[in-house]
Amino acid sequence: MQHPSLASSRLRGLAAMLAVAATAFVSACATGPVPDQPSANASLNETRSGGPSRWELVRWQQADGTLRDIPHGDNGQPIIFDFNDGIDSQQGTVSGTSGCNRFTGGYGKTTTGIRFDRIAGTRMACPGPRMALEAALLKAMQSPFTTVGTQPSAGSTGRQIVWKTVDGDLLQFVEREGLGQRGAKLDAAAGKEKIVYVDSQRVECSGVGRMQCYRWRESPDAPWQLWYGPIEGLDFEPGVSYKLRVREYQVQNPPADASSIRWELVNVESRARAK
């Protein structure tokens, strides 16, 4: 579990960054367009030299100050952006989950923030509120986002960024473990390959707070176990079970909110849709 002092430090950092974003938002309402502060070109690369990164939308403040209810933890599939070449790259491809469906497209830096291009997604139906949230997000992504706040990584607090949409909404993203796990580079020879069977649905579990975990086992007739971390490189589709070949690493000195074991996808041996 996370040490109380680390949790307090994280909350203080988050509050400070939101205060910066809120100040920019209030100024925009009072005086019109606000210059980008800090600069949208400021790098967040204190712990990353490049490579893919995964970001989760954790807060959505609308232009009138109200908050949108967004899925995370035990509240459903989170909204995730996977940047193939990192958030600091001048351009690349982005994919992830948009509230209901998966999406893919391109992204590139602008002088004030980031833009998204050629966004396309699957067309699965979801409950009304999730569809409405997804529609609002995809509409917002049709125009560039302006960077109004950044927080580089500091120990285990992780990197964070606040973007403002063309309609004045503030979207706060936090970097998560997953593609590249904060840029850590591992020697493939140091890992051990193994076969794992992954269930078709993730389940509620308790790690550093409430979260969603994979259910996995070592053979088709073995008992299920919980996997608390990501499976790097797996484009998990709910309702589909998997037989995977993964490479398992022991992580030295992991962050307080991360596992000491890391799985990296080598190959999808087979997949089957649950009946």
| Rounded average pLDDT over 73-99 | 81
Pairing of strands 113-121, 170-176: unpaired
Match 């176990």 to its residue by tokens: 225
Sequence-distant (≥ 6) Cβ neighbours of residue 5 within 8 angstroms:
none
Sequence-distant (≥ 6) Cβ neighbours of residue 247 within 8 angstroms:
188, 191, 192, 193, 263, 264, 266
- Residue 74 is given by DSSP the state G
Q: Is the distance from CB of 198 to CB of 271 less than 8 angstroms?
A: no
Helix (H) or strand (E) holding 209: strand 209-217
What letter represents residue 179's amino acid?
A: L
> At the topology level of CATH, where does 4-176 sit?
Lipocalin (2.40.128)
The confidence score (pLDDT) of residue 102 equals 84
Tens digits of per-residue pLDDT, 225-244?
Answer: 998 877 877 878 889 999 99
Phi first, then psi: what are they for 188, rounded to 5°?
Answer: -60, -30
Helix (H) or strand (E) holding 132: helix 128-140
Confidence of residue 114 (pLDDT cuts 50, 70, 90): very high
The confidence score (pLDDT) of residue 253 equals 59
- The domain ranges of the chain are 4-176, 188-273
The overall average pLDDT reported for the chain is 76
Predicted confidence (pLDDT) at residue 6 exceeds the cutoff of 80 = no
Phi first, then psi: what are they for 243, rounded to 5°?
Answer: -110, 115
Of 45-54, 136-145, 162-171, 201-210, which range is least confident? 45-54
- Residue 46 is given by DSSP the state G
Nearest to 54 by CA among 177, 150, 183, 145: 177
Predicted confidence (pLDDT) at residue 184 exceeds the cutoff of 60 = no
Phi-psi region of 121 (alpha: psi -120 to 50; beta: other; left: phi over 0): beta
For the beta carbon of residue 240, count every other beta carbon within 10 angstroms.
Answer: 15
